Amino acid sequence: MKRHIRLFALYFAQYAKVRLEYKGDFFIAFFSSMAATVLGFGFVLVLFTKIPKLQDWGFYEILFLYGFSLIPLGFFNVVSWNLYQFGDIYIIQGKFDRIMLRPVHTLFQVLFEKFRIESLQEVVTGIFVVAVAVKHLHVPWPPGDYLWFILMVASGALIYLAVFLMLTAVSFWFEDRVGIVPPVFNMLTFGRYPLTIYNVFIQFMLSWVIPFGFASFYPTTHFLGRTGFNTYFYLVPAVAASFFVLALYVWNRGVENYSSTGS
């Protein structure tokens, strides 16, 4: 564990140096990411100028949910760069060969060779928005809830990682530059709103097939006093662990299936 923590720190420090060497490029990426985040909140503001509530969910409850969803997603986005480009860079171009030659787990290397540092703004923005929402909602937060909050954020990030890791691993069997990640990524927005506003089929999909609901919606219900979802809330860590174990299994099987480019 110590060795991997040290390797992670070295990977991150080295990449940060390279990334910040081109400051103009970094700040353009940062402000582009920030603009996308602001536009998302802008939609929520516009929505609530037209309606007083979304079903029985008030403005600050939606704001809490939207803000919370950014935090685990932001942590995931920091390490997700290579997952989106995996099929093209590592499989088709054959760069996975050098990954297999190093005495470190292949997944560790793929995740931490590049970082989307600008995505940390999503984490900061999400925390700020959650704090604003809590202030207006006057929801009591006992000390234990802070630990639950941290656990839910970690579980949410792990769920995002597990889902996209499984989708990325498909590239080991089906070589494709784009892969099937983009259409699933577009489904993330569904998890930023209460699942109860969707029909039963979508609720089932976002809970048990592509569990984005367990990464964003269900973790917030406890803090918003929505006791009807308590069972789902307490299942979040178990769902995160189960999907990650499954994703790791699929990844390892994919690595065994890898046969290089032959060049």
Our CA angle for 144, 147, 151, nearest 5°, is 140
Residue 218 pLDDT level (bands cut at 50, 70, 90): very high
Number of folded domains that form the chain: 1
Query: Which residues, including other chains, have CB under 8 Å from residue 98's CB and lie 6 or more apart?
Result: none
Q: pTM for this structure?
A: 0.90
Instruction: Write down the mean pLDDT value for the chain.
Output: 87
Q: Does residue 207 fall inside a structural domain? A: yes
Q: Does residue 107 fall inside a structural domain? A: yes
Identify the top-confidence range among 30-34, 121-125, 240-244, 253-257: 240-244
Q: What is the predicted pLDDT for the residue at 24?
A: 76
Q: Does residue 263 fall inside a structural domain? A: no
Q: Does residue 80 fall inside a structural domain? A: yes
Q: What is the predicted pLDDT for the residue at 176?
A: 66
> Would the pLDDT of 47 be above 70?
yes
Query: Which range of residues forms the domain containing residue 78?
Result: 2-257
Q: What proportion of the chain, given as a percentage, has pLDDT over 70?
A: 97
Q: What is the predicted pLDDT for the residue at 68?
A: 96
Least confident of 35-39, 78-82, 201-205: 35-39
The rounded distance, in Å, linking the Cα atoms of 254 and 140 is 47
pLDDT digits over 147-203, tens only?
A: 999 999 999 999 999 999 999 998 888 876 666 777 787 788 888 889 999 999 999
Q: What is the predicted pLDDT for the residue at 28?
A: 80
Q: Does residue 72 fall inside a structural domain? A: yes
Q: What is the predicted pLDDT for the residue at 231?
A: 95
Q: Does residue 262 fall inside a structural domain? A: no
Q: What proportion of the chain, given as a percentage, has pLDDT over 90?
A: 47
Query: Which residues, including other chains, have CB under 8 Å from residue 88's CB and lie 6 or more apart?
Result: 177, 178
Q: Does residue 186 fall inside a structural domain? A: yes
3-state secondary structure of 91: helix
Q: Which residues pair with 57 in a beta bridge?
A: 54
